[in-house]
Structure formats: structure tokens, C-alpha cells
């Protein structure tokens, strides 16, 4: 799993994040795939977003993560 750093702006909120939405949160996108078995790593389609970008990221969760990122970069 990646540390809590915003996929869009790179804001590092690992010192605020406690597993809830403090400082930012996790978003599962349409292409989310859990890691098989007990494999260690970061699942596809799962991203951290800071509190500034979390609401917008969640509103785009029906898209693949790449499509959502493109959409957010255009409107930012
Ligand atoms: Zn951000």
C-alpha cells in the first residue's frame, strides 16, 4: 500500500491520516482490483486524495482512476 499522498497534487498527509478521512482519504475507482491473496503492494484503481481533492475524486469513482485523474487535472 502506498503512503497517504494525494495522487493529484502530491500533498503528503501521512501524519494526519488515521484510516478515516482525516486530512484526506482513499477512493476506489471503477478499475479497482484487490490484490490477490496475501500479496503485498498497492491495488490498481485505488488512490489517496487530500481533503481538497477527496470530494471531487469520490464524485468520479465510477470512472477508471486514469480517466478520473485526467478529468480532475482539466478542471483543477
Ligand atoms: Zn490534493
Whether the predicted pLDDT of 3 surpasses 80: yes
pLDDT per residue over 16-55, tens digit each? 999 889 999 999 999 999 998 888 899 999 999 999 999 9
Alpha carbon of 37 to ligand 1 centroid (Å): 31
How many C-beta neighbours within 10 Å does residue 68 have?
A: 26
Alpha carbon of 48 to ligand 1 centroid (Å): 9
Alpha carbon of 11 to ligand 1 centroid (Å): 6
Alpha carbon of 18 to ligand 1 centroid (Å): 17
Residue 75's pLDDT is: 66
What are the structural domain ranges in the chain? 1-76
Alpha carbon of 24 to ligand 1 centroid (Å): 8
Instruction: List the Cα angle 26/29/34 in 5-degree steps.
Output: 80
SS3 of the chain: the string is CCCCECCCCCCECCCCCCCCCCCEEEEEEEEEECCCCCCCCCCEEEEEEEHHHHHHHHHCCCCCHHHHHHHHHHHC
Amino acid at each position: 500500500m502506498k503512503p497517504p499522498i494525494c495522487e493529484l497534487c502530491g500533498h503528503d498527509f501521512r501524519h494526519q491520516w488515521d484510516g478515516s478521512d482525516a486530512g484526506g482519504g482513499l477512493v476506489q475507482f471503477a478499475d479497482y482490483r484487490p490484490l490477490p491473496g496475501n500479496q503485498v503492494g498497492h491495488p490498481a484503481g485505488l488512490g489517496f486524495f487530500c481533503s481538497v481533492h477527496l470530494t471531487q475524486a469520490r464524485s468520479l469513482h465510477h470512472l477508471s482512476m486514469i480517466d478520473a485523474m485526467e478529468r480532475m487535472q482539466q478542471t483543477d
